[in-house]
Every structure is written in C-alpha cells, then in structure tokens.
Structure 1
Amino acid sequence: MRYPSLKAPSHLLFLVFCIGLIADVLVPEIWGHGKTKDYPLWFWAGQQVLHGQSLYPVDPSGYFEFIYPPLPAVLLAPLAFFGKVPLYLFLCLLNAAAAWLVAQFSHAMAGSGRQPGLWLEALPGCIMITFVVDIFDLGQPNLLLLVMMLGGFWLLRGGRPWLAVGMFALATAIKVFPIAVLPYLVWRRRWGAVAGMTAFLVFFLLILPAPFRGFQHNVAELKTWYQGMIGTSSAEGFGQRAEQNWSSVNQSIIAVSHRLLRPLNYNQDDPHKPPRYMNLVDLDFATANWIVVAVCALIGLGYIRLIPPAWLRTEKSDAEEIGILFCLMTVASPLAREYYFVWLFFPITVLVHRAAYDPRPKVRTGTWIVLAAVCVLLGFSLPMYPIALQAYGNNLAATFVLIAGLAWHLRSPLKQGGEALPPAPGALQPGVTSKQ
C-alpha cells in the first residue's frame, strides 16, 4: 500500500479533489443557506440521541425521518454535540480517508502481485469519480462501508477472522445490505466467522447503544425500525420512501425486474414529471416477486457453481471471487441508488490489473474492451442522457458486464506458457498466509 505523497501528481490531484468536495459541503453551511441532502439528517439524529428523544415514530407505518438502525445515530451523537460544521467536516474527512483506503485495499487485493504505476493506480478512481462526488454531496456512508468490507477481507486473508467479522458486522449495523456477506461465509464453511459476525451484530445492535439509549428503549426502537423498514412490502413499495422504490433512481435487481414485469411509473419520485412506463408484461405483484426470487436463486446458484473449491483457491481467484461478491451484494440490495455502485470500485480494479498485467495479449485486449463497455454503461447515468436508460438499469447492466469479465478470468486462469488451466492444489486460502 502507498502513503499519500505531494510529490506524486496523481496524489496531489486527489488532495485538490477532496478539498473541492469538502468545500462544496462546508461553504453553503458557513456562508450560504445551509447544506442540504442527508447532512442535516445526521445532525438531527445525533441531537435526538443527545436529548434522549425517539428516532422513529411510535407507529411503524408512520413516516421515518431516520431510516437506519439506531447504532449510526449513537455514533453521530458525540460529533453532533459540537454543532453542524464540525460534524460535516468530520464526515467529509472520513469519506476522504475512506476513498484513499478503498483504492489502496483494492490494488493490494487485486491478486496480480504487481504494484501499479501512479496513473494506472488512479484509473479505477477516475472511473468511479461521479459516484464518489455523489457520496460527498449527499453525505452517504457507502464508501466507509466499502472500506470496512475490504478491510474485513484483508484481515480474513491475514488470519485475523475475529477482527474481520467485526468489520463486517459494523458495516451491517450501519446500513443493512452488507449482511449478504453472511451466506457467503456460510457457503465457504467459515463457521467461526459466521458465529463471530452474529455475536458482533448482537453487540452493535443491542448492547452498544444500550448505555446511551437504555436497553428497553433501544430494543423498542430496533423493533420499530425493523417493522417499518424490513417487515413491510406491498405492491406500492417496501420499507420507507415508497416513491423511490420502483422509480428509476433504484437500479437493484428487484426494482428493475418489477419495472419490466409490472406497469410502474419510473418517474414517480418526481411529481412534476409525466408518468412513464417500461413494462414488457402486466403481472401482479406476487407473480413478479416469484420471478424475482427465481432469478436471484439462479444467479446465486451460478455463483456457487462458478467459484472454485477451497483447496484450489489462489490470491488471484479470491480477488475475482470477492469482486463478483461485491457486485452481487450491490445489486441484491432492495434499494440500490446511484451512489451504491461505488462498490464496483474493487471489481473494476481487479479487471484493470488483469487488463494491464495478464501476459496473454488477446486477454488484455478483451479485458480492456469489457472495461470500456462498463464505462459506457455507467456513463448513461449522467444528466445528458434520457432517464429511461437509468430506468432500464444501465448501472445494473454494467454490473453484470463486470461479473461476466471476472467470471471469465476466474474460470480461465493462466498457466506457464500462456495456456489456461485450473489453479494448482495447495493454493493460498483466505485466512492462511503464504508462510503457513
């Protein structure tokens, strides 16, 4: 891993980039009418904890200002005590550090055994730049969650499973969708990691908030949050913010599938826009759900069939396997807004390493073509393109192109002489270092 250096032009550009994004958050708050998006919500949640007020309405069917579990509000409270500007500045610095660490972890875990040059190192970040800007502007924690997950897999590979699953559990307790790593650990028979993650989840969700909220109060709020967010689903939507669930802003497998299978207005998040529909058929809610379940089951079975058995794993195959896992975790979340796809940073980095360092010329060329296709598809989210491209799932399509590229590399490893064959027995396994 590299440390930042002002002598490196790409590192200097990253610093200038972060300063600009931090200014975009702080200038409106200090000299303007106040920063909007999610920043005021984080301050409100922290203040609710400081003053012993409820985070959720008594009725789980009511409107939730705060749609996250109680733990993030508890973590925000100490910073909210000092006011909005210190809180916003800390969150920006946290995102800047997370962006740097995501890049460093991604390159270190790409499995090529090569240290990229400075500009090649910057390439995945350039591809992901719009998502990073979105995260800074909104104040969302998805970059932080990504660095937790990457750090967890780094620790797991280094033989420190308890620290690793602590990172997984913390990410899940902040924003639920990283829970998808748990079935992966079950399939890989990492039973200690499964037990550890479960124990840490209990700690983060039930025990850690208790001294600040009271045990009974915290349990009651957790129950209300679960009923309002996880336990509700209907043809109109799921959880909170029903107007966003089926609209073009959501590019999850669930949302895109329902828009294709049912007559759903993909402009419903904006009442000023005329209704638009993209459904190919007109199915009822239950039938559409069963089709989504079947599609997800086929994808899951395909992933299980694709990944190598434990005794054939290498650092290279692990990078491709985990890259596909991150892709699936992103699109399997019921709500996958634009900034969720910053999680493609790691899989894109893996393919950049394959495109740069694979000794097979045709493979390098093909991998660059895959990356170019991913960039084109991701680019359709820019405002200059019709919103229909997002409704049809341009980011979802880019994710599946990434999965296809990673899957090909996973099934076509290199042997000496340039031909492909399965990895050799005795290859490095996660949690076991090369010296063991």
Structure 2
Amino acid sequence: MRYPSLRAPLDILFLVCCVALTADVLVPEIWGNGKTKDYPLWFWAGQQVLRGRDLYPSDPNAHFDFIYPPLPAVLLAIPAYFGKIPLYTCLSFLNAAAWWMTGQLSNAMTGSGRIPGPWLFALPGFATVTFVFDMFDLGQPNLVLLAMMLYGFWLLQHERPWMAGSMFALATAIKVFPVAVFPYLVWRRRWAAAAGMVVFSGIFLFLLPAPIRGYQHNFSELRTWYQGMVASSSEQGFGQRAEQNWSWVNQSIIAVTHRLTRQVNYNQDNPAKTAAYMNLLDLDFKTANWVVLAISLALGLGYIAVMPARSRMTPRSNAEELGILFCLMTVASPLARQYYFIWLFFPMTILMHRAAYDPRAAVRAGSWAALAIAGLLMCLSFPVFPNDLQAYGNNLVATALISGGLVWHILHPPSAGSVASVAPGIGTLESDM
C-alpha cells in the first residue's frame, strides 16, 4: 500500500481535490451560516451520547432524527467532544483516506495481474467523482463503508478470515445494508469469516456501546431502532423516510419495481411538485412485493449459476464474482439514493482492467462500450436532466449493464496461453499491498 506522492501529478491532483472537497465542508461552517446536509445531525448524535441522552424517541412509530444503530453515534461522540469543526474535519479526512484506499484496493483486486499505469489507475476515480463529491458534501459514510468492505475481502483473500469478518461487521453496524455479504460468505463456505461477522456484529452492536451508554440503555435503544427502522413496512413506505421510499430519489430494486407495478407518486418527496406516475401495471402492495421477491430470487439464483465451482476459481473470476456482489449489494438495499452508487467503483475498476488488458481485441472494445454506455446512463442524474429519468432507474440500469459485463467475462475467460502472453508477473500488485 503506497501513500500519495508529491512527485506524481495525479497524486497531487488527488490531494488538491481532497483539499477542495474539505473546504466545501469547512468554509461554510467557519465563515458562512454553518454547514448543512447531514453534518449537524452527526454533531447532534455525538452530543446526545456525550450528555447521556436518548438517540431515538420511545415510540418506534415516531419520527427518528437519527436512523442509524447506536454504534455510529458513539464513534461520532469522540470528535464531537471537541466541537463541530474537529468533527467535520475528521469526517472529511476519513472520506479522503477511504477514497485513496478504495482506489488502491480496487486496482489490486481486479485479478488482472497487471500494475495499471497512472491514468488507468485514476480512471475509476474520475468516473465516480460526482459520487465522491456527494460523500463529502452530504457527510454520508458510504465511501468509508466501501473501503471497509474491500479491505475485508482483501483480508479474506490473504487468509485472515476473522479480521475480514470484523470489517464486514463494522460496516454493517454503521449502516445495515452491507449485511447482504453474509449469505455470500455462507454460500462460498467461508465459515470463519461468517462466524467472525456474527461475533463482531454482537460486539459492535451490544458490547462496545454498553460501557458508554449502559447495557440496558443500549439494548433498549437497539430494540427501538430495530422496530422503527427494520421491522416497519407498509404500503406508505418502510423505515423512517417514507417520503423517499417510492420517490425518484430511490433507485433500489424494491423502489423501481414498486413504481413500475403499482400507482405510486414518485414525486412524493416534494409535496410542492405535481404527482407523477410511471406504473406499467396496477398491482396492489402485496402483489408488488411478490414481484420484488421473484426478481430478487431470480437475481440470486442467476448469480449462483454463474459462480464458477471452487476448483475452477481463478483470481480473474474471483474479482468478477466480487464485482457482481458489490453491484447486487448496492441495488438490493431498500433505499439506494444517488450516492449509494459509489459502490460501483470496484466493479467499474474490474471492467476497466478487462477493457485494457484482455487479449481479445473485440472483448476490449465491447468492455469499453459497456462502460461508456453505463457512464452515459449515470450522467442522466445531473440536475440538467428531469427527475423522471432517475425515476426509471438510470443508475439501476447502469449497474445492471456493468454487472452483465462482469457476468460475460466470468462465462468467457480468455485462454490460459493468451493471458500468460500479455500478463506476465501475475499477482505482483497483490503482493505489494
């Protein structure tokens, strides 16, 4: 793992971007009217822990300001003790470090056996820079979670399964949707990693906050959080943000399927907007959920079907398999807002390596074409385009296209001779991590 170098122009550009993005966070707080978005909420949560106050209302059906498990609030309390600016600086530094780590780990885990040149190394960062901006601007942790998950799989590949399980557990204890990795670990019979994830999830959710919050207080808050966030679902929505569940901002499989199969207003996040609908069918809520279940089952079985047997696994196929997993985890989350798709960083990096290094010219051209189309689809999220395009799931379709490209590569690997002729020194980059 290398650090940014002041002798590398692209590394300098990375540092300049980090400084500019951090300024976007700190300047409004120091010289303006205060940073908005989620930052004041993180400070509030940290202060609630420091003062021994409740994070959630006693009624799980009431509105939650803080919709995450107690552990993130406990972690936020440490920098929040020193004030808003130290907290915001800490969060910005974590995002910058996660951005660098994500680039390092993604390029190391493509299975191509090639050390990419600086431009190829940086290309996934350029392609996802708008998502990275959202991470800094909003203060969301998805980029940090991505780095955690990638590091977990890097540890797993280097036969440190318990440490890998702890990283998966920490990501899940911060924001629940990474829990989707657990069925994968079970299916691949990575028992130690799965056990580590279960054990450390218990530690992070129950034991770690207990000395600070009190065991009974923490347990009570966990129960309230679970009832209000995980166990709540109805025709109006799920969790604590019903106005976002079915609206255009949500591009998860669940949301897009419901918008296409029943009459739900995808402008419901803004009451000032005219109601708009896009349903092709007019199903009831229960039937639409059955459609979601059928689609999810089909995707899961399809994923299992393309997984190579253990005896046929290679570094290339393993990378492609994980890339598809990251795509599925992103869109399987009940709420997948724009910034969630930062998790495409890793799958896109794999496909870029295939586009650059596959020995077959036609395959290289096809891979670049798939990436270009996916990039154009993601550009439809820019504010100059109507929200209707996002309502139809432009990022969801882009994710499907990238995932489909990785599926094709799993099913059509190059011959061993052709790979050896263009990719000497396989594993060099991985051994340097």
TM normalised by structure 1 equals: 0.95
CA contact (8 A) 2:49 2:74 kept: yes
What's the CA shift for 1:272? Answer: 1.8
Aligned residue runs from structure 1 range 121-200, under 5 A: 121-200=121-200
Aligned residue runs from structure 1 range 73-152, under 5 A: 73-152=73-152
Letter in 2 for 1:139: G
1:356 aligns with 356
What's the CA shift for 1:104? Answer: 0.3
What's the CA shift for 1:417? Answer: 5.0
Which stretch shifts more, 1-10 or 331-340? 1-10
CA distance in 2, matches of 1:69, 1:132: 24
What's the CA shift for 1:211? Answer: 0.1
What's the CA shift for 1:2? Answer: 3.6
1:60 aligns with 60
1:424 aligns with none
Aligned residue runs from structure 1 range 216-295, under 5 A: 216-295=216-295
CA distance in 1, matches of 2:2, 2:322: 22
CA distance in 1, matches of 2:240, 2:193: 32
CA distance in 2, matches of 1:386, 1:51: 44
CA distance in 1, matches of 2:8, 2:274: 49
Is the counterpart of residue 317 in structure 1 residue 321 in structure 2? Answer: no
What's the CA shift for 1:34? Answer: 0.3
What's the CA shift for 1:199? Answer: 0.6
SS at match of 2:244: helix
CA distance in 2, matches of 1:281, 1:311: 44
CA distance in 2, matches of 1:207, 1:255: 35
Aligned residue runs from structure 1 range 21-40, under 5 A: 21-40=21-40
Letter in 1 for 2:374: V
Identity %: 66
Letter in 1 for 2:31: W
CA contact (8 A) 2:163 2:196 kept: no
Letter in 1 for 2:118: L
CA distance in 2, matches of 1:242, 1:16: 38
SS at match of 1:138: helix
SS at match of 1:335: coil
CA distance in 1, matches of 2:362, 2:2: 30
2:20 aligns with 20
What's the CA shift for 1:372? Answer: 0.4
1:332 aligns with 332
CA contact (8 A) 2:165 2:195 kept: no
SS at match of 2:34: coil
Deviations for 1:309-351, whole angstroms, at most 9, x for unmatched residues? 1121111111100000000000000000000000000000000
1:72 aligns with 72
What's the CA shift for 1:386? Answer: 1.3
What's the CA shift for 1:27? Answer: 0.5
CA distance in 1, matches of 2:416, 2:288: 48
SS at match of 2:265: coil
2:422 aligns with none
Deviations for 1:105-124, whole angstroms, at most 9, x for unmatched residues? 00000111111111111111
CA distance in 1, matches of 2:15, 2:197: 35
Letter in 2 for 1:257: T
What is the CA RMSD across the aligned residues, in angstroms? 1.4
What's the CA shift for 1:415? Answer: 1.0
CA distance in 2, matches of 1:371, 1:190: 31
CA distance in 1, matches of 2:218, 2:362: 57
Deviations for 1:167-207, whole angstroms, at most 9, x for unmatched residues? 00000000000000000001001122211110110100000
1:297 aligns with 297
CA distance in 1, matches of 2:134, 2:208: 30
CA distance in 2, matches of 1:265, 1:218: 37
Letter in 2 for 1:140: Q
CA distance in 1, matches of 2:11, 2:418: 35
What's the CA shift for 1:416? Answer: 3.9
CA distance in 2, matches of 1:137, 1:56: 25
What's the CA shift for 1:214? Answer: 0.4
Name structure 1 gaps, 5 residues minimum: 420-426
2:7 aligns with 7
Letter in 2 for 1:158: H
What's the CA shift for 1:246? Answer: 0.5
What's the CA shift for 1:49? Answer: 0.3
Is the counterpart of residue 403 in structure 1 residue 418 in structure 2? Answer: no
CA distance in 1, matches of 2:77, 2:2: 33
Deviations for 1:74-123, whole angstroms, at most 9, x for unmatched residues? 01111110000000001001100000000000000011111111111111
SS at match of 2:240: coil
CA distance in 2, matches of 1:418, 1:12: 36
Deviations for 1:244-294, whole angstroms, at most 9, x for unmatched residues? 010000000000000001111111111221111100111100000001000
Deviation above 6 Å: which 4+ runs of structure 1?
A: none
CA distance in 2, matches of 1:115, 1:139: 32
CA distance in 1, matches of 2:111, 2:278: 41
CA distance in 1, matches of 2:200, 2:2: 31
Letter in 2 for 1:321: E
CA distance in 2, matches of 1:134, 1:190: 34
SS at match of 1:4: coil
Relative distance call for 1:4 and 1:203 in structure 2 (3 A) is same
Deviations for 1:42-65, whole angstroms, at most 9, x for unmatched residues? 000000000000000000000000
CA distance in 1, matches of 2:373, 2:22: 31
1:422 aligns with none
CA contact (8 A) 2:164 2:196 kept: no
CA distance in 1, matches of 2:25, 2:194: 39
CA distance in 2, matches of 1:162, 1:334: 28
CA contact (8 A) 2:251 2:395 kept: yes
CA distance in 1, matches of 2:136, 2:32: 18
CA distance in 2, matches of 1:160, 1:187: 18
